[in-house]
Amino acid sequence: MELQRTGVGSIRGQAKMELAGKVALVTGASRGIGRACAIRFAQAGAKVGVNYRSHPDDAEEVVAACRAAGSDAIAIQGDVASREDVDAAVEKTVAAFGRLDLFVSNAAYSDRQLMLDAELAGFERTINVTMWGAFNGLRAAARQMDKQGEGGSIVIVSSPHAVIAIPTAMAYNMAKAAIDHMARTAAIELAPKRIRVNLMHPGWIDTPGERKFFSEEQLEQGAASLPWKRLGTPEEIANVIYFMASPACDYMTGSTVTVDGGVSLPWWSNRAEGKQ
């Protein structure tokens, strides 16, 4: 059964070409939030580097969707945990389109186990992809933007896990908390270069990755328990990331935007725990 969705859909045909002449690179862009970001940028006129690790057919579908939106895109295979792969992704994007103006660090990985029982290989993989992967992308993108000397915009996709100690997710919690502080530090270091760095905290979003942890029935039940009574969609997150990256937000850097349907509201948290 499909999860309830309200007021969501592509805005193709309605999008202003506010990013015409700009070039974006999105990590983890073959599915979920990354996919939606790549397409949303293309709808606004940006050319897009579509980074993926292990879903080549999905990545090519995203490229086709970007081209159908009236822009251009290329698929770039690479593991964000590898600094060499990330550097190469930036280089390939620039080789194809001449520059890099927008970067979204979206790729992440998570295993769910209690700390005492955790397989350390999965624990370390979570840290390497989610924390080091974000750093690798931030550094490589900022270096290219600095070289161009015209500023740029970077959005780091983090999570409420950065501030909520969710059990069985210690490695993911640690990684997201680290990249929040990383992004704020980068924002102040890069401000003189007119490179903006901001954070997105999505809530529970209906992505393929959620099927790693939950059945469809569990997702439906979980969605009904949320303040907004449904999961968010990748397109909703992508619309806000697009706004954060666009010229409309030129005065915003070092900020965190939360789009979670009310999950992080204190009143709801207390109610969910039976305190009210």
Range of the domain at 105: 23-213+233-263
pLDDT 10s digits, 129-149? 999 999 999 999 999 999 999
Residue 220 belongs to some domain of the structure: no
Where is pLDDT greater, at 274 or 85?
85
- pLDDT attached to residue 2: 42
Mean predicted lDDT score pLDDT of the chain: 90
The answer as to whether 14 is a domain residue is: no
Q: What is the pLDDT of residues 40-49, one digit of tens each?
A: 999 999 999 9
Residues designated catalytic? 172
Domain-located, residue 225: no
- Output the six-digit token pair for 61: 């579908």
CATH number at 120 reads 3.40.50.720
For residue 201, being part of any structural domain is answered with yes
Does any domain span residue 120?
A: yes
Report residue 170's pLDDT band, with 50, 70 and 90 as the boundaries. Answer: very high
Query: If you count them, how many residues does the chain have?
Result: 276
Q: Each residue of 5-39: pLDDT tens digit?
A: 433 344 444 447 899 999 999 999 999 999 999 99
Q: What pTM does this model have?
A: 0.90
Please say if the pLDDT value at position 274 is more than 60: no
Q: Choose between 197 and 165: higher pLDDT.
A: 197
Comparing 23-27, 67-71, 87-91, 220-224, the range with the smallest average pLDDT is 220-224
Per DSSP, the three-state class of 17 is coil
In a domain, 268, yes or no: no
* Residue-level pLDDT at 9: 43
- Residues 6+ away with beta carbon under 8 Å from 209: 31, 32
**Per the structure, how many domains does the chain have?**
1
Residue 73 lies in a domain: yes
Report d(CA 87, CA 147) in Å as an integer: 14
Residue 61: partners with Cβ closer than 8 Å, 6 or more residues away: none
* pLDDT per position as a tens digit, 200-242: 999 888 777 777 777 788 888 877 888 888 988 999 999 999 9
Confidence (pLDDT) at 129: 97
pLDDT for the residue 239: 97
